[in-house]
Structure 1
Amino acid sequence: MRFWIGLINFFFLIGLVALANLTGLSWKEYLLVGIGLLPMFFGDVGKSRKFLLTLIVLLIIASCLIPFKNIIANHSFENRSLTPWIWKPQIYQLTQNSYALSNVQCSIDPEKGPHGRNALLIENNQEPGDQRYGYLFQQIDVWPNAVYTASFYVKGKIGNKSLWFGLSDDWAEYKSTHHVQPGDYKKWKKEQVATLVTDDSRYAFAKFVSEAPGHFWIDDVNLKLNILETVKRWLGFKNEA
């Protein structure tokens, strides 16, 4: 009997992986759901010790496989290219018929990073009070209504609102954001972002925005799913950023 139960479970998981390939969703998501449903094959779900064991295995897999995966592409700029990041300086109106770009530049600099050779350089040379800005963003796949944590390294002169990091379903929106504290950082400083919340969409834009004068470097950008806070949010304990 156990042999047939095991065989059914095996083909059940194989089917989930195949379904994941057809729908384009993460096979890990289907695998986790499949493991969670396995107790259905053991009879009394509510009283089965196998059900509790399955939940423990599910949590272990979720905490080991998912949170440690950085979903930011080109996170350390070692290929000396921005791709797939996109840089978009603000276009603002000078007169009724003329426009100009904000005086904010973004480039890859061979500045020795905390763990590599290259780093991202943002130079915001506008006058104080102009409130002209530049966006650096990339589109990423995310879990809907989930909680993410981020970290990155910064160095240089950062003024008030010179730099902030955010996550939203529109690259130009100000939603789940984190402002970097002003300062003149002579050495690399690791910036920790505890809570970034996604919307109902399965994609989002991770973005840096500079809207005040500053001259600074960015490197080693990390964005990871926080599975514990995500489950709490799904259960109704929402933590808005």
Structure 2
Amino acid sequence: MNQPRSVLVTGGNRGIGRAIAEAFLAQGDKVAVTTRNGGAPEGALELKADVTDAASIDAAFKEAEAVNGPVEILVANAGITADTLLLRMSEEDWSSVIDTNLTGSFHVAKRAAKGMLRLKRGRIIFISSVVGLLGSPGQVNYAASKAGLVGMARSLARELGSRNITANVVAPGFVNTDMTAVLTDEQKAEIKNQVPLGRYADPAEIAGAVTWLAADAAAYVTGAVIPVDGGLGMGH
């Protein structure tokens, strides 16, 4: 058994983030999760934090470092949607999604990189979406934020690679979570028809790709976008 590692997952209280936190806990790692509303999985260090606020993220990292040691694996997962068609999309719909999904990921990556550079090792994993590269009507803000993560990860891969720090992206397709539960049965059926595997993902299947990217087996993988989308985004 490897030494337990210090892992931090943003938005780790529900959905994909929670499944990721639970997968690292199951491996025996020391896991801290940030959440705005509480409800971290059992065994994880719960940190109340808002990714849009750099000072709040700094405080969360300090607490995680004090309890679990310097963060070796960062999973930037926190994300929101505010779906609406372009002409109805308000400035707030745009900026809230960009601030959380893209700028929030910048805040946590910047803070994590500080400690990783000192350690001379680290894994940064961004949770994007199939929509980031495929596009989706009514999701101009969300798709832009998720595509931005790819450019961010690839730039960090080049910038930090010489210090043994990798930066990768996992791009989930449609997953059974609270976020997709709001879709109508008609919408759900339509989506399943577009997915070659003909079903939604279980959050644990996304977590499997994340734990692999954090494992020794993926030490030579950086700047990659790993689709976990049932084949929905093929060719992108």
TM-score bracket for this pair, using the shorter chain length: under 0.3
Structure with greater contact order relative to length (CA < 8 Å, sep ≥ 6): 1
Instruction: Give TM-score scaled by structure 2 length.
Output: 0.25
Instruction: Give TM-score scaled by structure 1 length.
Output: 0.25
- The structure that has the greater radius of gyration is 1
Structure with bigger helix share is: 2
